[in-house]
Amino acid sequence: MLLLFVGCVVLFAVKLILDWRRKRLKNYPPGPRGLPLIGNLLQVSRLIRETRFHWGVWRELAARYGPVVQVRLGLANPLLIVSGRDAVLDFLGRRDFDARPDTFEIRHRSFGKKRGIVLNDGPDWTEQKRFLLKVLKDFGFGKQSMEDLVLEDASMLCNILMDKMLDTTIDVHDFSEVTAIAVISSLWNLIAGRRCDPTEKESEMVEILRILKESFRNGSATGSLWQHIPFLRFIMPKYSGFADQQQRVSAMSNYFLDEVARHKQNKKQGESNDLIDKYLDEIASRNNNESSFDELQLVVLLKDLFSAGIETTSNTIGFAISYLAKYPDTQTKIQDELDHIIGSIGVPKLVYKNSLPHLNATIAEVLRLANVAPTTIAHRAVVDCSLLGYDVEKNWSVIGNLRSVHMDPDHWVDSEAFRPERFIDTRGKYVEDPWLMPFGSGRRKCIGENLARISLFLFLASLLQKFRFGLAPGETAPCLLGVNGFTVSPPHINIVITSRCHDKK
């Protein structure tokens, strides 16, 4: 035992000496000095407590050290935080940073190896992504039929509000959870061949949505405590969060494994009605051990689509409702547009999009201010390289601070204020701003961007056509920063929903 202890001390001392020598020879990015073993974990934890958000940590560090900051979180490789539009675009546009970190946490959620498309890289990722996009396109993803599916979901959500929530006070945070099952319904129809209807028995789906929400609330782009200090999952699994995460991963895996099993059991020869059917056909056609197509890969792919298809869209809708309740004049402008262009009984469609500048501008401003995804998912350097003149070693992790771009006061006049008109020109037309990049940039840009934009427009147009959203009594000046997590979720503020049909009589 003594010999083992001495050996560990010697190895640790050697590591410190080698790290020190490397720092003298290399031009590494600046960052806060950390402690042995835990690195900057204590400093990051303190800044999270002070600022209440992970993005607050990156803002403080960027202000102190510049556009590229190095932090060490436990025993993992250094993490770089890249801030500012030029630096973020440079980083996201480089193939040097196209990979994903290879960590136990990532492998743990995908049955022991890197799978899927969100947290994967290399030839398998390319093959899976190409297959996914082709199949979804064949089933109508991004086409007219997709618009029709989303409109059905928006109508379903409006009916739920009319039946259950009208003239009652509701927490916006809870409202976004109500929208989640409506948001995923159209995508789930392409994936599994059936729609989700919260008015029917969808207890399993509702439970998975709850678990997914917990995962996002308890996570961050930089990883978990047990990832930074791996031995914690063995000696204190509950305190480190590993036990809870293990339960969530198991529950989601079992749900999608059962879905795949149902498809295998019910699938008829020669019929392929959805993504799962097509994938099972692909597995059968390959029939070799070298293929990247197998049932575990399919389950992780379903997890990726399910997670990416819900969180940002439902949260953004919740934030939009929050801002419009707080700023009723903007809500009135949008509803006047809707009344004029579509009317009270017309169906909102994408063909009207260019005729609704205030709705488009409000969506853009909410995406800018809410920053539901304040950073990119972590990337990994695939080679030794440089970034803004600093040396970066292979396998270091890098995240892009998207919020720093969206809140840059040098570009956005009065950047902290809610001003949708910044996206409307002197002719009253909506204009896009290249500084707005809520879905990232480069080759790892969110593949669901088109569906997310369609959903945001059609859901909000449908909701605002039929309902008025106002602050509940007592909510005079609510804070709209939201709730911290891997993504930022809508704030806990109370609103009242009323039908607009009374206004038009």
Rounded Cα gap, residues 369 and 350, in angstroms: 24
Within 13 Å and on the Cβ side, how many CA atoms surround 385? 18
- Which is nearest to 502 in space by CA: 454, 466, 456? 466
Contact 55, 371 (CB under 8 A): yes
196 has binding-site annotation: no
Please name which of 65, 164, 150 lies closest in space to residue 401, comparing C-alpha atoms: 65
What the block records as the tokens of 369 is: 């201010």
Q: How far apart are CA 42 and CA 143, in angstroms?
A: 49
User: Rounded to 5 degrees, what angle do the CA atoms 481, 429, 500 make?
Assistant: 60
118 neighbors 308 (Cβ within 8 angstroms): yes
3-state per-residue secondary structure call for 438-475: CCCCCCCCCCCHHHHHHHHHHHHHHHHHHEEEEECCCC
HEC string for 304-373 = HHHHHHHHHHHHHHHHHHHHHHHCHHHHHHHHHHHHHHCCCCCCCCHHHHHHCHHHHHHHHHHHHHHCCC
CA separation for the pair 342, 137 (Å, rounded): 29
Hunting for tokens 């063909």 — which residue is that? 351
What is the C-alpha separation between 350 and 352, in angstroms, rounded? 5
282 burial type by CB count under 10 A (0-12 exposed, 13-18 middle, 19+ buried): middle
229: its two tokens: 């200090």
Distance between CA atoms of 455 and 139, rounded to whole angstroms?
17
The CA-based angle 61-62-64, given to 5 degrees, is 65
The binding site for heme consists of 446
The binding site consists of 446
